[in-house]
Structure 1
């Protein structure tokens, strides 16, 4: 176990959080630690637990310093994905051990490291400048890696209901592909998931005329969905892409024609579509495919199928506001010498909820090891990100 005496603040904060095994939705003491750190700095800390039938209760933290504007929100999550096979890790996944200048641990980059760096930056700002002429808040959830039902979305509604308003937000997700300063995420593609079930007739594989094999129909329906591209890339987004993520028949026997065949899919869509128009396109393609296909040659009936939409649609969004992007880019250039690329690639994040309340971007650590065995971050990268956040805070509050 490392002794962190003398380590920079970000490394000490990160080590303390990694040692809390906060596998979603368990906060495992991480929010207790953040409250213990933020309250002495003058933050008004409030803990809020949200519930919903069929999901786990989630503890959340909202902490604000100051009462005036401009109001800058830093948003993030302390929950992490499971470590997997712990014996496969070079160092314990919840040990926060340092080897050759690199800290290992689940959540090191996604995204306890981003939280640790922003806290360290706020501490440095307060020591150097005193309280800002405005407000800084932390909006931290334990539900981002899970269903995202009892976390950021509800916490934003709760805070807004109490009169909270924000001028801008940074989400500390690991946005950089190779080095700190490579990339700012200023938008995200939307996400739509569903499940198609083709209904056949179970039977003996030696007597196919007495059965209808749903696998044949499912193949035709998937071909109808995938054969034609949905669109081309737009000015700010990659082309819409659909992936079939699972195909199941639930049939352990090799001599039985199954009754049903199911395929799950996920679509990452650009600003050509919204949730409603994309669902309509999916249904149209399936209907055409069903009419053109037959479960078995010689049968007249089209494919009998049903569609279930899975989860909520994550909307596509793009942050066009220039002050937030401009000042963050300037801070990155000052500290790293790099001009960050603006990107909308990758998956979804809680920025999809924040965009309804204020301009939001994502900027954090390097994401190469997120969700992997041996997730890790160089201590020098923690120092660099802290310096960028500090420079941004200075530029943000001096310009208002």
Structure 2
């Protein structure tokens, strides 16, 4: 048996701030190889500052292949002085396990490994289990899951269904499963004018009013009202930068950054076209001497997974362990499910999300035990029970 609490503590003690793995994958390999997993270490982006180490591990050669996906990297601790515990100490106090990455998402990784080890050791599953782990999900995701998927395709490796262990429950364990995500578009807009003295504005071209006019035009009406499965798309300005430390100079340049989380009513490219069109319209009302630059980056498209069999298996397992019927939802940020949905049905379920990226991040040990039970139940009902409830047939729908 593999204790998920002890394993989670081992992982937390690795200071794996994106894109560093800091030994997490070595620890995981040490647990998986004795179980019979074939482990492939997949470093991508060598000689790049964002170089990423990844792991794909598989047990079994027969199908279907059920995959657990996640990330070992964590966000920085922030203001260390505000922490009351060592962020990488993995302390246990009053039924809580503290540390950076406990809920996002080293706890889920430990729970899955414990669950799959139990199934392998105590049953004879005629299927395959795999893990796909990266250390750059919290960053730009350049050399992580996307690259591993390319590697899988290149060797003809098939994943039939995937569960991502991101924290999905807002406040109560078992209350929510993610069956999709909104898309994400980050944009930087820069307006360049001409620097000058504030007392002689006719010798200068101020870029700030034009930038503000552009932002206000984007913000003046909603992008949509939402759909049956998605909340309304949202544009959020995250920074406005001028870099002007004095009061008597009109700056040469002004820039802003904003993010759009968009639903299935849009695609990333259509939104980029919309941003360009608004820029063209607004620019006509300001000085033609101004130069405009838009730098949009689409980090993921909106998607929803409607695979009824996979949803039923996860919901039934949660109901069995917790007594709750979870809501099927698409809210929240992005995850690597946005890449995995291109190769197989994908669903997300993990711990409670309100502690993610927080000072003194923690998980409730009882929840970690329950999560391990949910994962084990998914595997057992899907691969070990009679054919009428077996995910082998459900995947083939």
TM category, shorter: over 0.9
Task: Report the equivalent of 2:199.
Answer: 206
- State which of 29, 39, 45 in structure 1 corresponds to 2:33: 39
RMSD: 1.5
Shift of the alpha carbon at 1:56? 2.1
Shift of the alpha carbon at 1:128? 2.6
Q: Distance in 2 between matches of 1:393 and 1:137?
A: 12
The answer for unaligned runs of 5 or more in structure 1 is 1-6, 296-300
- State which of 289, 314, 318 in structure 2 corresponds to 1:328: 314
Q: Distance in 2 between matches of 1:378 and 1:234?
A: 34
Task: Report the equivalent of 2:179.
Answer: 186
Find out whether 1:59 has 2:27 as its counterpart.
no
Q: Which deviations, in whole Å up to 9, do the C-alpha atoms of 1:80-117 show, x marking residues without a partner? A: 11112223212110000100111100110000000000
TM-score by length of 1: 0.94
Shift of the alpha carbon at 1:302? 7.6
Task: Report the equivalent of 1:84.
Answer: 78
Q: Distance in 2 between matches of 1:208 and 1:294?
A: 14
Q: 1:113 to 1:198 in 2, by over 3 A?
A: same
Q: Distance in 2 between matches of 1:184 and 1:213?
A: 49
Q: Distance in 2 between matches of 1:149 and 1:98?
A: 34
Q: May I ask how many residue pairs the two structures share in their alignment?
A: 386
TM-score by length of 2: 0.94
The answer for unaligned runs of 5 or more in structure 2 is 385-389, 393-397
Find out whether 1:95 has 2:89 as its counterpart.
yes
Task: Report the equivalent of 2:266.
Answer: 273
- State which of 284, 293, 296 in structure 2 corresponds to 1:309: 296
Find the residue that maps to 1:278 and give its secondary structure.
helix
Q: Distance in 1 between matches of 2:64 and 2:48?
A: 38
Q: 1:313 to 1:88 in 2, by over 3 A?
A: closer
Find the residue that maps to 2:353 and give its secondary structure.
coil
Q: Distance in 2 between matches of 1:54 and 1:14?
A: 29
Task: Report the equivalent of 1:170.
Answer: 163
Shift of the alpha carbon at 1:225? 1.1
- State which of 319, 328, 347 in structure 1 corresponds to 2:333: 347
Q: Distance in 2 between matches of 1:267 and 1:192?
A: 5
Shift of the alpha carbon at 1:20? 0.8
Q: Distance in 2 between matches of 1:344 and 1:53?
A: 37
Q: Distance in 1 between matches of 2:130 and 2:351?
A: 20
Q: 1:228 to 1:382 in 2, by over 3 A?
A: same
Mapping 1:56-135, distance limit 5 Å:
56-130=50-124, 132-135=125-128
